[in-house]
Amino acid sequence: MRWTGLIAAALLAGTATAQSAPQTNAPPAPVNAGVAITDQNRAHLQQIGAEILFWSQAQRDENFPHMEKLFPGHVVSAGRKVLALPPGPPLPIPATEVDAFMRDQNVAGLIVVQAGTVRLERYARGLTREGRWTSFSVAKSFTSTLVGAAIRDGFIKSVEEPVTKYIPDLAGSAYDGVTIAQLLTMTSGVKWNEDYTDPKSDVARMFSIPVPPGMDATVAYMRTLPREAAPGSKWVYKTGETNLIGVLVGNAVKMPLATYLSERVWKRYGMERDAFWMTDATGREVGGCCLSVSLRDYARMGQLAMEGGAGIVAPGWFAEATRAHADTGRGPGFGYGYQWWTYPKGRFGGVGIFGQSITVDPASKTVIAIVSAWPKATDDRFSQARLAFVDRLFATAKAPLTRHPQRW
């Protein structure tokens, strides 16, 4: 899966400017408006953004829970109502097996929620239940959920509407005739190079061109791209298109994404902690990246999607969002929905570099959220080991409950 460019491009863009955000009653590590950008510290922050892929393990452990100390962003405020996640029967899996997985994968947090109850919850690397951890590309699934909310609220009529209706600056570009659905599924047909080793790739150059006054930085670049295939005919992972989704929602609802996420998801569903969302060069939240969220709230997001989001998104939204609309070439059962990855056995989830994931198994009503600090942004060995362990957890959750007095 192609996640690395989200840091090389989107995070670097996020160092360019900041907008103020309201202060809140945050957890012990305070959420704030992020780092204020001045001419003096701009170069320093851009350097940090460029170096994230090469941070040491100590830097990852220190910074992944505290990205608001390094980058500008907005607060996603929690409400007074919190959706309870009461304890359930402990998952009958040996503690040594969990310990080994967490150690081998540099896991900071692991939670298994089944039928709304917590069956396993573990923290490490200094993370606590009160803390937050950066999402990287898991944020894509949150952003697409805001499209479903905007449809329910009447700000967007349908995913079959043209993208240019909500982003007029794309008119006359290769995005003419592209629908919101095709943007969500990354099947626009617009040519894109996401080669992170190529300094001339689109993901590397996305924020390098001059931006006309009043235009979003992502839009300014994306409207220069040519078309390579008919809309809807070809899937290509495009960091820039997820950022466009964020622009589209912001234009439709006429408020910051953090505010809309707070009002429509965080407060309505009962998220427990304030979140933090990094902003880009124009002061907008980076649609495809960089939410800092508590482990339990990551699990609640998976549960929201599994339950269907009644009263929050349009009816049937998550059923459509979490089914395969595009073939990603990974084999049977693997596909791409509305910014959600789809897996065999009817499962789906969100994934971010350095080991972040939400995985949902509707059949067993189980959500597994993992936040990590892998030594590499992407690693096939780590990915396969995580997939195997998640399968093990799902299988354990499905097993009939047998009372063990020494465990319960």
- Over residues 153-203, the pLDDT tens digits come to 999 999 999 999 999 999 999 999 999 999 999 999 999 988 766 778 887
Give mean pLDDT, residues 333-347. Answer: 97
Give mean pLDDT, residues 265-276. Answer: 98
Contact 85, 352 (CB under 8 A): no
Q: Is the pLDDT reported for residue 23 higher than 90?
A: no
214 secondary structure, DSSP code: T
List, in sequence order, every residue forming a beta bridge with 335; answer none if it has no partner: 327, 342
Helix (H) or strand (E) holding 360: strand 356-361
pLDDT of residue 18: 30
27 secondary structure, DSSP code: -
Token output for 351: 């994934």
Q: Is the pLDDT reported for residue 50 higher than 70?
A: no
Backbone angles phi, psi at 213, to 5 degrees: -55, 135
Give mean pLDDT, residues 234-247. Answer: 93
pLDDT of residue 196: 63
3-state secondary structure of 285: strand
Q: Which amino acid is at 352?
A: G
Helix (H) or strand (E) holding 134: strand 133-134
Q: Is the pLDDT reported for residue 365 higher than 80?
A: yes
pLDDT of residue 217: 85
Measured in whole angstroms, how far is the alpha carbon of residue 14 from the centre of its chain? 15
Q: Is the pLDDT reported for residue 48 higher than 60?
A: no
Q: Assign 143 a pLDDT band (cuts: 50, 70, 90).
A: very high
Task: Give me the half-sphere count of Cα atoms (radius 13 Å) on the Cβ side of residue 348.
Answer: 25
Contact 286, 280 (CB under 8 A): yes
pTM of structure: 0.88
Cα angle, residue 92 at apex, residues 87 and 98 outer, rounded to 5°:
90
- Over residues 67-111, the pLDDT tens digits come to 999 999 999 999 999 999 999 999 999 999 999 999 999 999 999
Domain covering 5-398 in this structure, CATH number: 3.40.710.10
Parse the chain into domains and list their residue ranges: 5-398
Q: Is the pLDDT reported for residue 5 higher than 50?
A: no
Mean pLDDT in the chain? 87
Contact 192, 225 (CB under 8 A): yes
Pairwise CA distance, residues 260 & 71, whole Å? 21
Token output for 30: 């305070």
- The sign one gets for the Cα dihedral 363, 367, 370, 376 is positive
Give mean pLDDT, residues 116-139. Answer: 97
